[in-house]
Every structure is written in structure tokens, then in C-alpha cells.
A = this chain, B = another copy of it.
Amino acid sequence: MKKTFLLVIAGISLAFSTFQASAANDPLPVFDKSRTAIVITDPQNDFLAPDGKLHGLLAENLKELNTVANIETLMKTAKSKGLALAVDPLIYNALDVDWSRAGALQRQLLDMGALQRVSGKAGNFQGSGADFYGPYKPYIHDGKTIVVAPHKMYGPESNDLIYQLRARGIDTVILGGLVANLCVDSHMRALMENGFKVYVVKDAVAAPGADAYKAALVNYSMIANGVLTTGEVTRALGH
């Protein structure tokens, strides 16, 4: 991508070779651990469990990138290095199917009952498609992880993620989760509109197919403050 980009821009190639260099992540960004959070969007069964309603859409990408393990590495790293960890789920209430203005994919998710809270029988939430992916629960339920209210579309505009981060003096986010070009991209954009520095972890996400993953990468590299691998994150936080 970068090469074609360079060809296109003609007179301002200098600017974009800088751009390219910066994408090499050499040197790694320096994070102030007291001001940085690792944020994982939608680490839930319907995306990650083999029988999740949306797992099939992401399966190829999840496998190629080793996403499930990489997200766990990020969670583990947050805990061992003393960074704030926040998880931001997508959960629909039973009533949400009433929305008259839902977008294309959102409408489909609502109609197929994905990510839906079984209303009236709280006991059923445990292990449901909307519940957190089992292997991540020890990190999420350790009494320290910030579990924000569900977002309702793709970004954090309708929940308390930004408030929770700001209320703790956090101004930088290392971001991963599901789905690469939807909730992860929307979180990147919304957090940056709010003045956060955002670094996206490109192998701790997954998209529904190669085109959607490529779309996510194109946008991450133009918009974010940086795009990193899980390995680069752990190295950057290792010191």
C-alpha cells in the first residue's frame, strides 16, 4: 500500500516516506504506564468461541493473526506491567430490536439475536453469546479491570469508556479486539476525536474476511498515532 501511496503523491513524497518510516515502529513508542490503558473491544463468545454466532465470519482472520492468544497476551501484559485494562463489550438488550434506525449490519445482528442479553433471566447470561470469552474471565473479573457498560453501535459514544479513562488521568490507549474494521476502527476514531493518543495492535484484532481486514489496516495506518504488533507492545512495555 505504501508504495502506491508514494507514487500517487508526487511532490510531497518526503512527507510520506516519513510516514512510512514512522510505521516501521523503530524506535518503539515510549508509554507512560500511569497514563496508558490497554482497551479490548468485544472480547465475547459470539465472536471468539467456536460456536459463537459470528465466529464463522472471523474464523480465517482469527487463525491467521493468532488473535485469541494475542489478546490474552495483551491482557496479561496489562496486569504484569501495572497498566489499566478496560474491556468494552457490545451487548444488545431484548428491547433494542425495536430500533427503527439501525444500520445495515446492526439490523442483521439484532435480527439474528447475536450479542443479545437474555432478558428477565439474568442467570442465563453466563456463558451466552454476549458473555465474555471464558479464557479471558480471570483477567476481566480480577476486581481491577474496568468493565464499561456495553456500547450500542460500534464506538464508545454511548457508554462510559471515555469517562472511565479520563477519570483516572489516562490519555493514551493501546487498542485491540473485535471487529477490526467496525468496533476497533470506531473506537480508534472516537478516542482520537476526544484527544487520546491511540496505538492499534494489528494482530490482536480480526475482521470478517481479507478485504475487511485490509480496510482496517488502511485506516489504522492513516489515522492512529501508531500501529503495532502484540510483540512490539510487550517490548515497548518491557522496560
Contact = CB atoms under 8 A, between A and B. Distances in A.
A144 B208 CA distance: 34
A122 B122 CA distance: 10
B100 A22 contact: no
Interface in A1-46: 1-2, 4-6, 8-12, 15-16, 18-19, 22-23
Interface stretch (A63-71, A128-136, A162-170, A230-238): A162-170
B101 A195 contact: yes
A118 interface: no
Main secondary structure of the interface of A (DSSP, over half): helix
B100 A168 contact: yes
Contact of A8 (B56, B122, B182, B192): B56
Contacts of A138: none
Nearest to A169: B100
A169 B224 contact: no
30 contacts: A2-B107, A4-B209, A5-B57, A9-B56, A11-B56, A12-B53, A12-B57, A96-B164, A99-B167, A100-B167, A100-B169, A101-B195, A103-B192, A103-B198, A122-B122, A149-B149, A152-B167, A154-B193, A155-B190, A157-B193, A158-B159, A158-B162, A162-B194, A169-B171, A171-B171, A181-B215, A186-B189, A211-B214, A212-B218, A214-B214
